[in-house]
Amino acid sequence: MFFSNLPAWSEQFNQQNLQQLKALPPFSTITSEWAWGGSNGAGVNVAVIDSGIDADHEAIGGAINGYVQVQEIDGKIEFDTSPHPDAYGHGTACAGIIRSIAPAVNIYSIKVLGSDLRGKGLIFAAGLKWAIEHDMHVCNLSLGTTKQEFFSILHELTDRAYFNNQILVTAANNAPVNSFPSVFASVISVAASAGKDPFRFYFNPKPPVEFGAPGINIRIPWKNGTWSIMTGNSFAAPHITGIISLIRSKHPDLAPFQIKAILYALSANVNANIEETK
C-alpha cells in the first residue's frame, strides 16, 4: 500500500523531530544514591485519591496544596475544591507516609470515599480523571473496585495516565481477589511486606502484584491527630509513592516503565548489596 503522506504517528521519528533522550545506566550500576540521593520530592504533584486528608495532623504539617471532593448531586458529578477533612483516617495515613519519605512533595487531596471508607465507582473514576487532567505526576490509589462494570473505564484512564508519563501506584486488595486498577499492567501495584525500613522493598516476579513494601504492623497517622498501628496493602502503596516521588523530583523526564525498571533494580531481593534491616 502506498501513502501520499507519511503514515500516522511516524512524524515523531523523522530526523528533524526525533528527540534525543538520556539513557539509564546499566542495572548493575543503579544505586539509591543515583536514583534519589539528595531529593526531597520538590516539584512533584502527588494526588492522594482517598477519604480526604487531615491537614492539621503533625504528619502532614498543614501543607495541602489542593483539594477536590468529588460528589454526585442530582445525577451529576461535581467537584468541590474547598478544603475538606478526612472522613475516615485512611487518606491521612497514606499522605503521612508519603510525606515521611518525600517531605517536599505537593500533596493534593482528592476525596472519593466517605465515612465508611466506601464510595461509588463512577466517583472514583471521576477523581482519577481529574488527577490525570490536572497534571498530577504521581497518584496514590490505596483503593480499588472488584466490580467488572468499571474495568473498561479504569483501564482507559490508567492507559491515559501511562501515555501522559503519569504514574499510578495502586494497592492490591487485602482479599485474594482481582481489583481494578491494581491488576492492570500500566500501574505499579503494591502489597504489604514485613519490616519497618521505608526504603526496603521487594520485587515479585509473578505479578499482578509487582512490589512489596512495609505495611504490616506499622505506625501510621490517623484521624483527629491520632496515630495507630495497622496492617494493610493500603499502607504499602504510599511507601512506593514516596520513593517514586523522590525519583521523579531528581529525574523528571523518566517514563513510567523506566521508573518501574529502577524500582526493580533497587529491590532488596534483586540488589544483593542492600544489607538486611536489623
pLDDT digits (tens, 9 = 90+) for 159-177: 999 999 999 999 999 999 9
Q: Reduced to 3 states, what is the DSSP secondary structure of residue 70?
A: strand
Helix (H), strand (E) at residue 272: none
Q: Is position 108 within any domain?
A: yes
* pTM for this predicted structure: 0.93
Determine the Cα–Cα distance for residues 44 and 107; give it in Å rounded to an integer: 9
Per-residue pLDDT, averaged over 236-258, amounts to: 97
pLDDT of residue 128: 98
CB distance 132 to 104 below 8 Å: no
User: Residue 141 above 80 pLDDT?
Assistant: yes
Determine the Cα–Cα distance for residues 278 and 270; give it in Å rounded to an integer: 19
User: Residue 258 above 70 pLDDT?
Assistant: yes
Reported confidence tier of residue 273, pLDDT bands at 50, 70, 90: very low
Determine the Cα–Cα distance for residues 103 and 255; give it in Å rounded to an integer: 23
Q: Is position 7 within any domain?
A: no
Q: Reduced to 3 states, what is the DSSP secondary structure of residue 273?
A: coil
pLDDT of residue 277: 35
User: Residue 278 above 50 pLDDT?
Assistant: no
User: Residue 222 above 80 pLDDT?
Assistant: yes
Q: Is position 12 within any domain?
A: no
Q: Is position 146 within any domain?
A: yes
Determine the Cα–Cα distance for residues 39 and 246; give it in Å rounded to an integer: 5
Q: Is position 13 within any domain?
A: no
Determine the Cα–Cα distance for residues 158 and 153; give it in Å rounded to an integer: 9
| Grid cell in block for residue 245 | 516521588
Determine the Cα–Cα distance for residues 107 and 61; give it in Å rounded to an integer: 11
Helix axes 233-250, 256-266, angle to 10 degrees: 110
Q: Is position 55 within any domain?
A: yes
Domain CATH code at residue 130: 3.40.50.200
Phi, then psi, of 259 in degrees rounded to 5: -60, -45
Per-residue pLDDT, averaged over 56-77, amounts to: 94
Q: Is position 3 within any domain?
A: no
Per-residue pLDDT, averaged over 47-56, amounts to: 97
For 180-190, how does the pLDDT look when each residue is reduced to its tens digit (9 = 90+)? 999 999 999 99
Reported confidence tier of residue 275, pLDDT bands at 50, 70, 90: very low
Q: 170 vs 275, which has greater pLDDT?
A: 170
| Grid cell in block for residue 150 | 468499571
State how many domains the chain has: 1
CB distance 236 to 190 below 8 Å: yes
Q: Is position 29 within any domain?
A: no
Mean pLDDT over each residue of the chain, to the nearest integer? 93
CB distance 169 to 48 below 8 Å: no
Per-residue pLDDT, averaged over 69-86, amounts to: 96
Domain of 118 in residue numbering reads as 43-266
User: Residue 2 above 80 pLDDT?
Assistant: no
Per-residue pLDDT, averaged over 36-45, amounts to: 98
